[in-house]
Amino acid sequence: MGIPRFCYGRPVYIPIFQAPIPVYPQSISHSAEVRSAKKDIIIVYDYRTCTWHGFDTNAPDATMGIKRNTKRHEQLKDSHRALLGDINPCSREVMLGHICDRYNCDLARAEQVFATASKASRAILHHRASNTWRGCHSERMPEQSDAVEVSPTLRQTEYRERYGKMPPLFHDYLHLDQSPRLKWLAELDGCSIADAAKTHNKVWNVSKDRSKLAWPTLPKAMAVGVDYVEPVVITEEMRAAIRSLGWSFGITEARKT
């Protein structure tokens, strides 16, 4: 809101706007401008933005897409937004490569710039659905071809290696001491049912992406390890066929005769 201009003894506040202006303030302002009577000018027309604003209101600049010709604008020319804002969607590794090229720095320094630009200044933005990064001024949104596969974290990898071979087991949420899944965890880790329940929650909630879990879900509250291999039941016909190849069965493994 600008400083009021008085018209017929009444104050008139005129901010920047694009709505139609009544002819009355225009005619008075035009007449005052011709007579060089600045004190009588009410509104001013800005030819750059085709808008009207009050005489004492600052001319439109950054709010209307016009760059400010100030020292502050000169300071921003080397900012993270100015240097990284035009980068199109890419992976994190490619973004670090852009930072190394534009800042002429090593990977360690690029990691620091990446942390600052992605959090504090928001110069680079993350698109979670495609797992891509882009500059804040990039006009191109990520497409299906830009999608980057999300690699499992170290914790997810550890849980998969240790608990990924769990057989299909039911989990009783109401009676934890009777849960087959918790009993399997307690036997594997050599701990109590209470500690097994804590481990179960950690393994179950380690990722929001269900495909990164160590236990895919099955119907009826069942789950199975991603690396579980169902034992093969060998029938007598299969044994006979294997023996015909010159192999015989021992107690724990097959051996050639």
Question: What DSSP line would sit under 74-119, residue for residue?
Answer: HHGGGSHHHHHTTPPSB-HHHHHHHHHHHHT--HHHHHHHHHHHHH
Smallest CA-to-CA distance from 82 within 102, 106, 109 is with: 102
Does the pLDDT value for residue 209 go beyond 70?
Answer: no
The structure tokens 């199109």 sit at: 88
CA distance 95 to 83: 12
Question: Once rounded to an integer, what is the mean pLDDT over residues 34-44?
Answer: 78
What is the share, in percent, of the chain residues with pLDDT greater than 90?
17
43 close to 87: Cβ distance less than 8 angstroms:
no
Domain spans, the chain: 5-64, 76-146, 153-257
Q: What is the pTM of this model?
A: 0.43
What is the percent of the chain with per-residue pLDDT over 70, rounded to a whole number?
72
Q: What is the mean pLDDT of residues 51-63?
A: 70
CA distance 133 to 127: 6
Dump pLDDT digits (tens) for 118-144.
887 788 988 888 889 999 888 888 888
Q: Which amino acid is at 194?
A: A
Structure confidence at residue 66 as a pLDDT band (50, 70, 90): low
pLDDT of residue 6: 47
The CA angle 48-53-59, to the nearest 5 degrees, is 55
Residues 6+ apart with CB under 8 A from 72: none
What integer is the mean pLDDT of 8-14? 49
Question: Is the separation of the CB atoms in 182 and 202 below 8 Å?
Answer: no
Tell me the mean pLDDT in the region 186-204: 90
Compute and round to an integer the Cα radius of gyration of the chain: 35
Q: Are 194 and 179 in contact (CB under 8 A)?
A: no
pLDDT in tens, 70-110: 655 555 667 888 888 889 999 989 999 999 999 999 999 99
